Each structure stands twice: as C-alpha cells, then as structure tokens.
Amino acid sequence: EIVMTQSPATLSVSPGERASLSCRASQSISNNLAWYQQKPGQAPRLLIYGASTRATGIPARFSGSESGTEFTLTISSLQSEDFAVYYCQQYNNWPLTFGQGTKVEIK
C-alpha cells in the first residue's frame, strides 16, 4: 500500500497570503495525484487531479506541482472560503490512499 504523508498538519495563514501544502508518496506514483478540500460537515471536494490540472469550476488561485514523489498544492492568495482541511490522494495503485490532511486555519 502506498503511504501518503502530508505536511504540515496545521498551517496558520492570514487572508490574502500564500499557502503551500506538501504531500509525499512512499513510492513513485507518476503524476497520479489529486487534491481535495473538505469543510466541516461536508464531503471532500476535488480540486486538482493529474498533480496539476484544476477540476471543473476550481479558481485559478489553486495550483498543483510535482517533483518526483513530492507534490505541492499552492493557494496563491487565501480567501475566507479557503480555510479548510486539504487532502492528497494517489490513484496510481490499488488501494487508492489519502494523506492524513493539512488544516489551513486563520492566523
């Protein structure tokens, strides 16, 4: 099973600032990596797939990048609605696995 490790666990950011979230895979997953956003009481929402392709309707302030087995989600200028928990997920191998999440909170 591929283990996905996210860091940091919590990120404190002021509105308007940039946030960078990291995700590392325990082995090569090519670019088969997705990012989700989850708000309290809701199911996760797909933001990014293919490591860097935004899903339908996702604002351009969300971007994804990859370097080997390291992946980054960047939110260029945090809006109030962006404070949430973010998860990465690999879909290179079954079972599909998620990271443990990064909570982005208001500083």
Partner 1 sequence: QIQLHQSGPGQVKPSQTLSLTCAISGDSVSSNIAAWNWIRQSPSRGLEWLGRTYYRSKWYTEYVSSVKSRININSDTSKNQFSLQLNSVTPEDTAVYYCARGLATVDYWGQGTLVTVSS
Kindly identify the residues of this chain, within the stretch 14-43, that bind partner 1 according to CB under 8 A: 32, 34, 36, 43
Q: Among 21, 23, 29, 44, which residue interacts with partner 1 (rule: CB under 8 A)?
A: 44
Q: Among 58, 63, 72, 101, which residue interacts with partner 1 (rule: CB under 8 A)?
A: 101
Is residue 83 at the binding interface for partner 1, with CB under 8 A as the rule? no
DSSP 12-68: EE-TTS-EEEEEEESS--TT-EEEEEE-TTS--EEEEETTTEEPTT--TTEEEEEET
The binding site for partner 1 (CB under 8 A) comprises 1, 32, 34, 36, 43-44, 46, 49, 55, 87, 89, 91, 94-101
